[in-house]
Chain A
Amino acid sequence: MYNFDFVKPKTLAEATAAMAGEEAQALGGGQTLIPSLKARLASPTTLVSLSGIKEMVGVCKGDDGSLCIGGATPHAVVAAEAAKTYPALAKLAGGIGDPAVRNRGTVGGSLANNDPAACYPSAALASATVVTNRRRIAADDYFQGMFTTALEAGEIVTEVRFPVPEKAAYIKFEQPASRFALTGVFVAKFKDGVRVAVTGASEEGVFRWAEAEAALSKNFSAAALAGLAASADGMITDLHGTAAYRAHLVGVLTRRAVEAAA
Chain B
Amino acid sequence: MNKEKQKNNTGTLNRRDFLKALSAIGGAAVISSGCTPEPLDKLVSYAVPPDNVIPGIANYYTSVIPNSPVGTPVVVRVREGRAIKVEGNTNDPITSGSTSAEDQATLQTLYDPDRIKQPLFRNNRENLTAITYVAATDILVENIKDSSKKGYIISNNTTGCCDDLLNSLAEKINAKRIKYEPLSYENIKYANQISYGENKLPTYHIEKADYLLNFGADFLETWLSSSEYSKRFTEMHAFDGKTRGTFVHIDPKLTLTGSMADEWVPISPYKNLYLVLGIINYIKLNKLNVNPIPNVFPNLYMYSISETSRLTGVPEETIIKIAKDFTSSKSSIAIGGGYASSASNDYKTIVAINLLNEITGNGDKIDFDNTLKLSDASKFSEIKSFIQDAKSGNVDFVLVYNCNPVYNVPKSFGFEKAFKKINHRVSTSMLSDETTELCDLIIPDLHSFEKWGDYEGKTGNRYIMQPVMKPLYDGVSVEQTLINVINRIVVDDSNKIDSDFYNYLRNKWMEYSSEVENFENFWNKIVKDGGIFNKNESYSIASFNSDLSLGSNIESETKSSNDALSLYITPSYKFYDGRSSNNSWLQELPDLLTTAVWDSWVEINSNLAKKLNIKEGDYLEISANGRKIITQAYLTPAISPETLSISMGQGHTSMGRYAKDRGVNPIDLISDSIDSKTGGLDVSTKVKIKKTGDWEKLVKVQHSFSQENRDIVQTIPMSKLLSKDDHHHDHHGGHKEYDMYREYDYFVHKWGMTIDLDKCTGCGACVVACYAENNIPVVGKEQVGNGRYMSWLTLERFQDEIKDESTGITRIDTRILPQMCQHCENAPCEPVCPVFATYHNPEGINLMVYSRCVGTRYCSNNCSYKVRRFNWFTYAAPEPLNLQLNPDVTVRSKGVMEKCNFCFHKIGIAKDKAKDEKRKMTNDEIATITACQTACGCGAIEFGDLNDPESKVTKLSHDKRAYSLLGELNTRPSVKYLKKIEKDNAKA
A binds B: no
Residues of chain A having any CB pair with chain B under 8 Å: none
Residues of chain B having any CB pair with chain A under 8 Å: none
